[in-house]
Chain A
Amino acid sequence: AQSVTQPDIHITVSEGASLELRCNYSYGATPYLFWYVQSPGQGLQLLLKYFSGDTLVQGIKGFEAEFKRSQSSFNLRKPSVHWSDAAEYFCAVVRGSQGNLIFGKGTKLSVKP
């Protein structure tokens, strides 16, 4: 069965520092992978997605993610974090042909000045 693991529950980085959020997936075939961001009290916004092709995917707000099949990973990165990036980040994989997403438990990002 498909699953997603986000090993880090909470990460704190300094503003301007680089960021990497980890995501590992379990899926038999080529996965369709997503990163969403959720600000407090808000819904989820898509940051980026991977279907096929180039394994380095660019998203909005300066985020990127790299698909590594050998490591079953899809880590999210940003070279320089801004205070407004403080939020919760969810990695997700599509389940079968139904289109519903299976989410990880999320990583909460705090940004210190």
Chain B
Amino acid sequence: NAGVMQNPRHLVRRRGQEARLRCSPMKGHSHVYWYRQLPEEGLKFMVYLQKENIIDESGMPKERFSAEFPKEGPSILRIQQVVRGDSAAYFCASSPRRMRGQWDTGELFFGEGSRLTVL
């Protein structure tokens, strides 16, 4: 089984450009989570998506950031008009089902991340 695939692994953008980060979850997983890791910081939750639905975007900045998980294809995290402060590693994780009530595994499977550098 292929793991969670993220691309690009490294992305360099100039201020004001757009960044698109893609995530293909593990086979059979329909739930995707995006996290951001700033230098010397832990991972901060950004958004939780199911196919064609945003379930929780409480961690997303109000402006310039958007995410989608279409019926077909990977999940995409889009950052418009990037600024230097957006430089970070962005991690995608997937799980097979939404966790509610009694947990089964609770494990999130992480990709290797996309490292965005804004010049």
Identify the A interface with B (CB < 8 A): 4, 6, 32, 34, 36, 41-46, 49, 51, 90, 94-95, 97-106
Contact = CB atoms under 8 A, between A and B. Distances in A.
B45 A101 contact: yes
Contacts of B59: 100
B107 A46 contact: yes
Contacts of A46: 107-108
B69 interface: no
Given A43-B111, A43-B112, A98-B55, A103 B99 contact: no
Contact of B101 (A51, A97, A103): A97
Contacts of B44: 103
Contact of A103 (B31, B42, B98, B106): B42
Given A44-B110, A105-B41, 8 more contacts: A4-B42, A43-B4, A43-B110, A51-B106, A98-B55, A99-B31, A99-B106, A100-B59
Contacts of B42: 4, 6, 90, 103-106
B112 A42 contact: yes
Nearest to B4: A43
Interface of B: 4, 31, 33, 35, 40-45, 48, 55-56, 59, 91, 93, 95, 98-101, 103, 105-108, 110-113
Contacts, number: 69
A100 B33 contact: yes
29 contacts: A4-B42, A6-B42, A32-B103, A34-B107, A41-B112, A43-B4, A43-B110, A44-B91, A44-B110, A46-B107, A46-B108, A49-B105, A49-B107, A90-B43, A94-B106, A97-B100, A97-B101, A98-B99, A99-B31, A99-B95, A99-B98, A99-B106, A100-B48, A100-B59, A101-B43, A102-B45, A104-B42, A105-B40, A106-B42
A103 B103 contact: no
Contacts of A99: 31, 33, 48, 95, 98-99, 106, 108
Contacts of B98: 98-99
Contacts of B91: 43-44
A1 to B, nearest CB: 11
A11 to B, nearest CB: 15
